[in-house]
């Protein structure tokens, strides 16, 4: 089999790249190790930057997003005695949208089916070959046990942190930077209407808490816990008590709505950046090249930014014979990656209890600076609502 671009990984990054390339007449084949049902069911980020929303709408996959997403003007930052609204629209004229990654994936899968673009789900033994030659190819075994070889002009690695793409880079070129945080999140999905009109990020002496939402009837919550903590140690009553304590520690009569909890999981907190994001005919995008802690809501949005840059580069190279954007892809993408990594680190270290009381006082001083300084609040809004792609 021959194609122009082999895309390894059929999550949101791979699906979006295939869709954008297809709109410009560039052929692609998707290879995914999981089943379509598994890909569609993965629960991930739910906050879309203004730029991500614009990309999806311009690509023709934003109809349901436009109808169902919850638009948010900003967020609440909370610490004892304070709940401060950071209004992004007032500060920078942009908002964010709550629309789950699961829903983005469904929209992109539906677009792929309409366009009848080839995809192999349940692939195993995926190997990349000749990435530093003019004739790279990928070999794998499909879900029925049949071996395949696909030749291409370019391979795009959108296969996440544990996929084979990054490992295909020469070991002498690979560099990685990692920060493992001394805490994790207990993520909770509950069948209750949100108790807030905007997301709440709460600093508390017992640990961080967050109130998010998925719809008008489904709420999402997070609690700071120890790394590797067993969700079974958190029965529903303990979860609601901790959330009420950490989210209710401010002046006012706010009440937390409780109800049935349908899902519990523990999420590790990690920052990871790999370089380069391009070698020869291999390009990395999304989690294959970088991971951020979820505090700043950057993960899916960073992947979309990578894909937009990569799409532009590949169209210019494969259709117009102009390799300049492809040659600069890694450096261009990494500028934004590092800025978003810094913002995610800043939000994470400001809001989670760690260290001693000295560290706590520094965190409270940072939060108070956002409350009292328009410049500090604007900086937060610009980063949270999304930097320009290519910035």
Q: What is the DSSP code (8-state) at residue 341? A: H
Determine the Cα–Cα distance for residues 351 and 348; give it in Å rounded to an integer: 6
CB atoms within 10 A of CB 265: 11
Q: Is 182 a residue of the active site?
A: no
Burial of residue 120, with CB atoms counted within 10 A of its CB: 0-12 exposed, 13-18 middle, 19 or more buried: buried
Contact 273, 306 (CB under 8 A): no
Q: Which one of the listed residues 137, 264, 298, 311 is annotated catalytic? A: 298
Residue with tokens 């949208």: 97
Residue 147 tokens read as 């071996």
Residue 343 tokens read as 């913002």
Q: Which one of the listed residues 12, 136, 194, 294 is annotated catalytic? A: 294
Determine the Cα–Cα distance for residues 233 and 279; give it in Å rounded to an integer: 45
Q: What is the DSSP code (8-state) at residue 6? A: E
Q: Which one of the listed residues 12, 19, 72, 293 is annotated catalytic? A: 72
Closest alpha carbon to 7 in 131, 148, 152, 167: 152
What are the residues whose beta carbons fall under 8 Å from the beta carbon of 75, sequence distance 6 or more?
A: 85, 86, 88, 198, 199, 200, 201, 384
Cα 304 from chain centre: 8
Contact 126, 31 (CB under 8 A): yes
Q: Is 294 a residue of the active site?
A: yes
Q: Which one of the listed residues 99, 181, 201, 222 is annotated catalytic? A: 201
Q: Is 222 a residue of the active site?
A: no
Active-site positions?
72, 201, 294, 298, 384
């Amino acid at each position: 089999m021959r194609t122009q671009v082999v895309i390894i990984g059929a999550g949101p990054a791979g699906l979006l790249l295939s869709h954008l390339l297809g709109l410009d007449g560039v052929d692609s084949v998707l290879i995914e190790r999981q089943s379509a049902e598994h890909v569609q069911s993965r629960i991930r980020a739910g906050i879309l930057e203004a730029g991500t929303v614009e990309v999806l709408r311009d690509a023709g996959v934003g109809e349901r997003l436009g109808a169902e997403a919850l638009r948010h003007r900003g967020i609440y930052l909370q610490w004892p005695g304070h709940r401060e609204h950071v209004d992004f629209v007032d500060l920078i004229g942009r908002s964010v949208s709550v629309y789950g990654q699961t829903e983005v994936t469904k929209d992109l899968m539906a677009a792929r089916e309409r366009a009848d673009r080839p995809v192999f789900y349940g692939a195993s033994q995926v190997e990349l070959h000749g990435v530093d030659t003019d004739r790279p190819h990928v070999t794998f075994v499909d879900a029925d046990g049949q071996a395949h070889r696909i030749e291409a002009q370019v391979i795009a690695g959108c296969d996440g942190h544990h996929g084979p793409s990054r490992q295909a880079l020469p070991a002498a070129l690979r560099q990685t930077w990692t920060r493992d945080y001394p805490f994790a999140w207990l993520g909770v999905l509950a069948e209750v209407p949100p108790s807030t009109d905007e997301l709440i990020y709460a600093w508390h002496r017992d640990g961080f808490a967050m109130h998010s939402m998925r719809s008008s009837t489904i709420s999402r919550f997070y609690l700071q816990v120890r790394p590797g903590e067993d969700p079974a140690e958190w029965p529903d009553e303990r979860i609601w008590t901790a959330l009420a304590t950490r989210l209710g520690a401010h002046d006012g009569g706010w009440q937390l709505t409780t109800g049935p909890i349908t899902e519990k999981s523990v999420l590790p907190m990690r920052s990871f950046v790999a370089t380069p994001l391009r070698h020869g005919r291999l390009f990395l995008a999304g989690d294959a090249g970088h991971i951020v802690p979820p505090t700043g809501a950057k993960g899916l949005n960073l992947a979309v930014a990578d894909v937009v840059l990569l799409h532009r580069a590949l169209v210019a190279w494969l259709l117009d014979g102009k390799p300049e954007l492809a040659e600069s892809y890694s450096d261009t993408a990494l500028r934004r990656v590092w800025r978003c990594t810094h913002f995610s680190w800043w939000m994470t270290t400001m809001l989670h209890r760690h260290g001693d009381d000295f560290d706590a006082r520094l965190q409270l001083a940072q939060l108070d600076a956002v409350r009292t300084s328009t410049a500090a609040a604007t900086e937060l809004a610009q980063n949270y609502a999304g930097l320009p792609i290519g910035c």
